Structure 1
Amino acid sequence: MSNLQSLAVAVEVSERKRDEARRVLQDALAAQQAARAQLDQLEDYARETEARWGMKADTAMQPEVMYHHYQFMARLGHAAGMQTGVVGDHAGRVDAAQRALLDAELRLASLRKVMDKRRYELELAQARRDQKQTDERAALQYSNASRSSVGQE
C-alpha cells in the first residue's frame, strides 16, 4: 500500500502543477488579448487620423503642419510596429504555456494510469490470496469430512 500512497501523492502534486500551468496559460491569454486590443486601438486611431487628414486635403496647409502630421503618423506607425512585436511575444508565451499545460496533463494522465494499474494488481493479488484461502479451507473441510466419514465406518 505504501507504493500506492506514494503514487497518490505524486498524482496530487501533478494535479497542482497542472492547475498552475492552466492558470499561467489563462494569464498569458489575457495578456495577449490586452496587447492585441492595444494594437487595435493604435491602428484604429491611425486610420481615423488619416481619414480626418484626407478631408482637409482640399484646403491649403502650411508646410509645418504637414511636416508635423507626417512626423506624428510615423511615430504612430512606429508605436504600432512595436506593439505588433509585443503581441508576437505574447503569442510565444501563450504557445509555451500551452505546451507546459499539455505536458502537465500528460504527466498527470500517465501517473493516474500507473496508479490504476497498481491498484488493479493489488486487488488481483488480494483476490488470488482470498481464493487460495478459500480453496485451502475447502480442502481442509473436505479432508476433515473424509476422515470423519472413514472413522464412522
Structure 2
Amino acid sequence: MNPLQPLLALLAQTERERDAAWGHAQQAAQAQQTAAAQAEQLLTYRREYEQRWGTQFKSEGRMELVLCYRGFIDRLTQAVDQQQRVAQHATGQMERAREVLRDHEIRVASVRKLIERRSHELRLSADRAEQKQTDEFGARTAWNHHGLIGSGAARAA
C-alpha cells in the first residue's frame, strides 16, 4: 500500500468539502445580488411614484386621493424596508459562506503541504536506504577483493 494513500484520501475529501463550500458561497452571492437588486428596484419605483404624484397633487389634491396615495406610499416604504433587511441578511449569509470557503481552502492547502512533506521524507528515506545498500555493496566488494589478495599472497608464500 502506498504510504501516502490515507493522506491522498483526506485530500480528496477536503477538496470535495471545499467544492461544496464554493457552490454554497456562489449561491449566497447570487441570493445577495438578487435581494439587493430587488431593494433597489423598490426604491426606484417609490421615488418615481412620489415624483409622479407630487406633480399631480400640485394641480389638484382631493382628500380621498391624497389618503389613498399616503396609504400606498406607507405600504411601499414598508416593502422597501423589509427588502433592505432581506438584502442585509443575504449579505451576512454571503460573508459567512465566504469565511467557510476560506477555511476549506486553508485546510486543502494544509493537507497538500503535509503530502508534500511526507513525499519529501519518503524520498529522503529511500535515498538513504539506497546509499546504505551502495555502501554495503562497496564494502563487501572491497572485503572480497582484499580477501582474494590476502589468500593469493598466502599461497605464494
Scaled by the length of structure 1, the TM-score of the pair is 0.96
Partner of 2:135: 135
Q: 2:72 and 2:112 mapped to 1: Cα distance?
A: 59
Deviation at 1:29, TM superposition (A): 0.3
Q: 1:80 and 1:3 mapped to 2: Cα distance?
A: 60
Partner of 1:117: 117
Of 21-30 and 48-57, deviating more is 48-57
SS in 2 for 1:61: coil
Q: Deviations over 1:22-42 (max 9, x none)?
A: 000000000100001110110
The residue type equivalent to 1:121 in the other structure is: E
Partner of 1:78: 78
Q: 1:44 and 1:73 mapped to 2: Cα distance?
A: 13
Describe how 1:51-130 pairs up with structure 2 within 5 A.
51-130=51-130
Q: 1:15 and 1:3 mapped to 2: Cα distance?
A: 20
Q: 2:3 and 2:96 mapped to 1: Cα distance?
A: 33
The residue type equivalent to 2:128 in the other structure is: R
The residue type equivalent to 1:98 in the other structure is: R
Deviation at 1:54, TM superposition (A): 2.0
Deviation at 1:90, TM superposition (A): 0.4
Deviation at 1:3, TM superposition (A): 4.2
Q: 2:58 and 2:24 mapped to 1: Cα distance?
A: 53
Partner of 2:24: 24
Deviation at 1:4, TM superposition (A): 1.3
2:150 counterpart of 1:150? yes
Tell me which structure has the larger Cα radius of gyration: 2
Describe how 1:11-50 pairs up with structure 2 within 5 A.
11-50=11-50
Q: Kindly, what percent of the aligned residue pairs are identical?
A: 37
The residue type equivalent to 1:67 in the other structure is: L
Of 45-54 and 1-10, deviating more is 1-10
Q: Deviations over 1:9-54 (max 9, x none)?
A: 0000000000000000000000100001110110010010011012
The residue type equivalent to 1:145 in the other structure is: H
> How large is the RMSD of aligned CA atoms in angstroms?
1.1
Partner of 2:5: 5
Q: 2:61 and 2:43 mapped to 1: Cα distance?
A: 25
The residue type equivalent to 2:21 in the other structure is: A
The answer for unaligned runs of 5 or more in structure 2 is none
Deviation at 1:152, TM superposition (A): 2.7
The residue type equivalent to 2:124 in the other structure is: L
| Equivalenced residues, count | 153
The residue type equivalent to 1:31 in the other structure is: A
